[in-house]
Structure 1
């Protein structure tokens, strides 16, 4: 696996295709997103990584400043921007009640999400899926992005259920203006 990682070392999705850079999700950047488990740009611990590499697949603690008045729903997207694909891999997508100000570790599990959290499909499955980069590929950045939406995301064009929508389709279909947004990046390497 290390050889494969080295061979793919120069291939990375990059930041340009993240939810953060989608035209429909642009907005002010005044939300401050933090974690007790890592600082912006710091290494994420193994407990927050995927089970198949020895981790616990435990979503990290997240906290944020108050969203602006008029926020109907929060959208949380977690993406690996260094995956060797054309677009970042979505490791978690969730809708969060705007009254919520933090998520405890494990709040993004598919089977028992925290109150006020609705976990959606990701590239890998439903719920939070921790880092598991290819060995030897170098450091991967995991970008936690929080968007304060002015209207709830209920359905997509064509009456597709939000719960069944593919993550990229859901992100591209959001039409509610973004009132505010914030992001936090963790790093992991194997």
Structure 2
């Protein structure tokens, strides 16, 4: 293990400048060009964005999802009210990974409009909901929403930046939709591409919370 850690460190230092692919984040795509950033997102325990994630939130610990809460920003005149939101979507992406793509650490959709917070316990499979659902291959979580497909095919993949690559920023992006996604037109566990296709014309706002984590030597 010692050799591979040295190799990881060497490669991370070599690729140290390969960061900041913010333009590839979901909320920086053309879909959001005319959509106001009108949602405030914070973490009741970790604080306002940006905030540092702990080892417990990373793959070096328990990959614990941070608790988050959100609401419409009263300072932004966007013409959108709480009653206009039909459901939410939540995705976590890391634009600082030394990769040509932006890794998706977790994506969740069909979040009820009345739910404006998440806690770690929400991110567990709800087998009862799965059994009762009309789509048996879909994955419902304890928080009352559906699981999408992330890069690793897990419920959530906590941060694990390469050792020596410095701090990485994890963008937890909340998207407000003025119409429900048509889940029948997506895979049972929807991909990012599925969601991008189906949310067109339905987005009415967005916001983000940034968690920072570094794997030190």
After alignment, is 94-103 or 23-32 more displaced?
A: 23-32
**Greater fraction of residues in helix:** 2
TM-score, normalisation: structure 2: 0.77
TM-score, normalisation: structure 1: 0.87
Are positions 1:35 and 2:50 aligned together? no
Are positions 1:6 and 2:13 aligned together? yes
| Whole-Å separation in 2 of the counterparts to 1:72 and 1:176 | 13
Decide which of 126, 133, 140 is 2:168's aligned counterpart. 140
| Whole-Å separation in 1 of the counterparts to 2:183 and 2:12 | 39
Shift, 1:13, TM fit: 5.4
The Cα offsets for residues 36-61 of structure 1, whole Å up to 9 and x where unpaired, read as: 232312210111111xx2x1111110
After alignment, is 95-104 or 18-27 more displaced?
A: 18-27
After alignment, is 3-12 or 88-97 more displaced?
A: 3-12
CA RMSD of aligned residues (A): 1.9
Shift, 1:69, TM fit: 2.0
The corresponding residue for 2:196 is 172
| Whole-Å separation in 2 of the counterparts to 1:40 and 1:140 | 14
| Whole-Å separation in 2 of the counterparts to 1:25 and 1:177 | 11
| Whole-Å separation in 2 of the counterparts to 1:140 and 1:81 | 8
Shift, 1:146, TM fit: 0.3
The answer (yes or no) to whether the contact 2:93–2:106 under 8 Å persists in 1 is yes
* Larger gyration radius, structure 1 or structure 2: 2
| Whole-Å separation in 1 of the counterparts to 2:117 and 2:189 | 26
Q: After the TM superposition, list the runs of 4 or more consecutive aligned residues in structure 1 that deviate by more than 6 angstroms.
A: none
| Whole-Å separation in 2 of the counterparts to 1:148 and 1:89 | 22
The 3-state SS of whatever aligns with 2:169 is strand
| Whole-Å separation in 1 of the counterparts to 2:57 and 2:120 | 9
Decide which of 29, 32, 35 is 1:25's aligned counterpart. 32
Unaligned runs of 5+ in 1: none
The aligned length equals 182
Structure 2 vs 1, CA of residues 160 and 74 (structure 1 numbering), >3 Å: closer, same or farther? closer
Are positions 1:188 and 2:203 aligned together? no
